[in-house]
Amino acid sequence: MAAGKGAPKGDKRQRTRAALIEAAAGVIAEKGFDRASLDEICARAGMTRGAFHGNFRSREELFLAVVDSQLRPVSADFRPGESFRTQMRILGLAVAAEARRRAPMAAGAAAFQLYLLTNPQARARTATQQASAYQAMAEGFTRILPPGELPMPAGQFVIMLDALITGLMFVSYQSPDLLKDEDFVAAFEALAGPAPRPAPWSGGKAFTLLR
């Protein structure tokens, strides 16, 4: 059978979906979900309404695809074997960087929260996904940290961690100049308790420096 010209149809469909998602992300970032019209999204993507309906069943489905593509979980390069404080510092820096990356999508993030609050079915579906993600996170922390390092059970800890991340993200969206990287780091390092003080010098007898 002779090879067909151009890219496979599946690739074209994926490119169409990606273009619509990217266009929707831009419009939602500028106007929020409620004022993001399909006509404007399609025009920005260079697509027709038919292209939209061929890839998404509803405006809400497109919105959720935007959320999946733009608001991914924070990824941090944890170092197995390092102390809890060090791991929290790594996470703090990762959250600070992700907050800057997501800043252009702040309106979309807020719109997603409102969508969940007003849509019980979507809220239940997201809760199921979150529970699975929390379990994976809890298992990850128990692998990279020695027993007893966490200040509370791992399952409870990752929920509190997610709440802290979400809160810091939205504060940074509202007041971009308020939080610096060191503020993010301090918030997460605080979970490890007070920083250890250096041991007192014990190299010999005490002495006084005279001028």
What is the model's pLDDT at position 207? 40
Q: State residue 119 phi and psi, 5-degree precision.
A: -135, 90
Residue with tokens 């419009």: 27
Q: Which residue, 65, 29, 58, is CA-closest to 44?
A: 29
Please report, for the chain, the start and end positions of each structural domain, with discontinuous segments joined by +: 16-69, 72-192
What is the model's pLDDT at position 10? 59
What is the model's pLDDT at position 203? 54
Distance CA 155, CA 163 (A): 13
Q: State residue 67 phi and psi, 5-degree precision.
A: -60, -45
What is the model's pLDDT at position 174? 93
Which CATH superfamily groups domain 16-69? Homeodomain-like (1.10.10.60)
Residues of the chain with pLDDT under 50: 1-4, 7, 204-211
Residue with tokens 């007003």: 118
Residue with tokens 């308020």: 178
Asked if 74 and 95 touch (Cβ cutoff 8 Å), the reply is: yes
